[in-house]
């Protein structure tokens, strides 16, 4: 486990220009004596990352492509900023494992976040996990790395953070729930923008409509996942690894207000819930300061303004992606990695307006059906399954486009 320094805690933010990264930097800016930004990374958003460098003066920045890194190097030099610029996966792994870093915000969306998240685990860091693919694709590998290197894992997804907060005192992610009195986990979901839309209308949904989430401000890919409820399916898989349980012990509950972020039901009939305004700075601040609490910039929930709380069962006929995720989780092996890869490809095609909204689930289901069951116990096998699944999903998308 990382040693807490006498001075400010060093933080690497993987995915600094995304919504989670921006919220993390907002929290850090509120506590300049407590935290310092050591490294920031982005895909290829040079200008946004440069502005963050001006605000936080990191020691390192990382961009995905060498050309973008070269542009950043010039921008920093012109501004007189002494920041080292790295690029590619190797650069991400480097800044995730730096000696002067104690906490790593893992907020890169998609499979690209897997390698640096693993690097942080192997370096024994406190990992603030917002990248669910690290667990969806390679849960056993990742959790083994956390345990073997005495790393510390704290969930950032609002639902998993709520579950963690509702767990028995002293519980750490990855520990067994046996003997702790936990009956089941209630994982809440907003239902997305199409919860009440007529099923026939889903055929003509546009990317703009799918990205207009009613409660949360998220990136385009995650917003589409919320609209299909694949995001919740991936969270079921993630919860199985985080809380060392099975999909049968996790129940998804539609909660349109997004006020109750998740719950834990106990053997004595108690149900503990974590509530709050839908703002990601709350779980970010909780994980960064844990086991203490600190100001996140989020207002306390006004229950009188909320007025009422509603709960519904999910409709897996309307949202088959949730069912597919449960099935992949139960199957195990590389099935979750295949599910995730096919989904990433299908969502990309949908956002490019090449396939219909309802064809996202169709591509995922067919990809899982075409590919045989295979192990997912090594990183090579996971990455191989990911590659084959992407190729298969692209072929299926091309067939649908003809």
User: Residue 110 pLDDT more than 80?
Assistant: no
Enumerate residues 6+ apart whose C-beta is below 8 A from 117.
Answer: 14, 96, 104, 106, 108, 127, 129, 131, 134, 142
CATH of range 9-131; options 3.40.50.720, 3.40.50.300, 3.40.50.1000, 3.40.50.2300: 3.40.50.720
Write the Ramachandran bin of 88: left for phi over 0, alpha for psi from -120 to 50, otherwise beta: left
How much is the pLDDT for 218?
65
Q: Please give the pLDDT value at position 198.
A: 82
Res 263 pLDDT > 70: yes
Encode burial over 212-247: b for 16+ CB neighbours within 10 A, e otherwise: ebebbebeebbbbbbbbbbbbbbbbbbbbbbbebeb
Give the model's confidence band at 122: pLDDT under 50 very low, under 70 low, under 90 confident, else very high: very high
- Band the pLDDT of 199: cuts 50, 70, 90: confident
Residue 210 to residue 193: CA distance in whole angstroms: 7
Q: What's domain 182-401's architecture? A: Orthogonal Bundle (1.10)
Minimum mean pLDDT range among 89-103, 177-191, 219-233: 219-233
Q: Are 36 and 60 in contact (CB under 8 A)?
A: no
Mean pLDDT of the chain: 93
| pLDDT of 364 above 90 | yes
Domains of the chain by residue range: 9-131, 182-401
pLDDT tens-digit map of 8-49: 999 999 999 999 999 999 999 999 999 999 999 999 899 999
User: How high is the pLDDT of residue 139?
Assistant: 92
pLDDT over 70, % of the chain: 97
């Amino acid at each position: 486990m990382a040693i807490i320094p006498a001075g400010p805690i060093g933080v690497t933010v993987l995915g600094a220009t995304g919504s989670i990264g921006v919220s993390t930097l907002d929290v850090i800016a509120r506590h300049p004596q407590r935290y310092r930004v050591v490294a920031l990374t982005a895909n290829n958003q040079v200008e946004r990352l440069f502005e963050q460098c001006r605000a936080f003066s990191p020691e390192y920045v990382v961009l995905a492509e060498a050309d973008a890194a070269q542009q950043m190097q010039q921008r920093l030099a012109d501004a007189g900023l002494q920041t080292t610029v790295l690029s590619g996966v190797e650069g991400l792994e480097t800044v995730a494992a730096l000696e002067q870093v104690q906490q790593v915000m893992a907020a890169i969306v998609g499979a690209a976040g897997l390698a640096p998240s693993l690097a942080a685990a192997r370096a024994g860091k406190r990992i603030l996990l917002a990248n669910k693919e690290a667990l969806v694709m390679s849960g056993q590998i990742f959790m083994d790395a956390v345990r073997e290197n005495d790393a510390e894992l704290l969930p950032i997804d609002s639902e998993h953070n709520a579950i963690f907060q509702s767990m028995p005192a002293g519980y750490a992610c990855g520990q067994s729930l046996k003997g702790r009195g936990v009956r089941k986990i209630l994982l809440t979901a907003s239902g997305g923008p199409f919860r009440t839309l007529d099923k026939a209308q889903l055929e003509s949904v546009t990317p703009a409509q799918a990205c207009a989430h009613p409660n949360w401000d998220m990136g385009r890919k995650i917003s589409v996942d919320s609209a299909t409820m694949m995001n919740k399916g991936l969270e079921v898989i993630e919860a199985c690894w985080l809380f060392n349980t099975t999909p049968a012990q996790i129940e998804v509950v539609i909660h349109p207000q997004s006020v109750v972020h998740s719950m834990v039901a106990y053997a004595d009939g108690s149900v503990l819930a974590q509530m709050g305004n839908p703002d990601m700075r709350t779980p970010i601040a909780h994980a960064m300061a844990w086991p203490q609490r600190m100001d996140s910039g989020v207002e306390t929930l006004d229950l009188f303004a909320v007025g009422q709380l509603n709960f519904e069962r999910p409709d897996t006929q309307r949202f088959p992606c949730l069912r597919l995720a449960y099935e992949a989780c139960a199957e195990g092996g590389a099935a979750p990695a295949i599910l995730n890869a096919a989904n990433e490809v299908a969502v990309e095609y949908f956002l490019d307006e090449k396939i219909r909204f309802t064809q996202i689930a169709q591509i995922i289901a067919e990809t899982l059906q075409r590919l045989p069951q295979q192990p997912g116990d090594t990183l090579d096998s996971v990455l191989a399954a990911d590659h084959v699944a992407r190729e298969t999903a692209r072929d299926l998308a091309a067939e649908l486009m003809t």
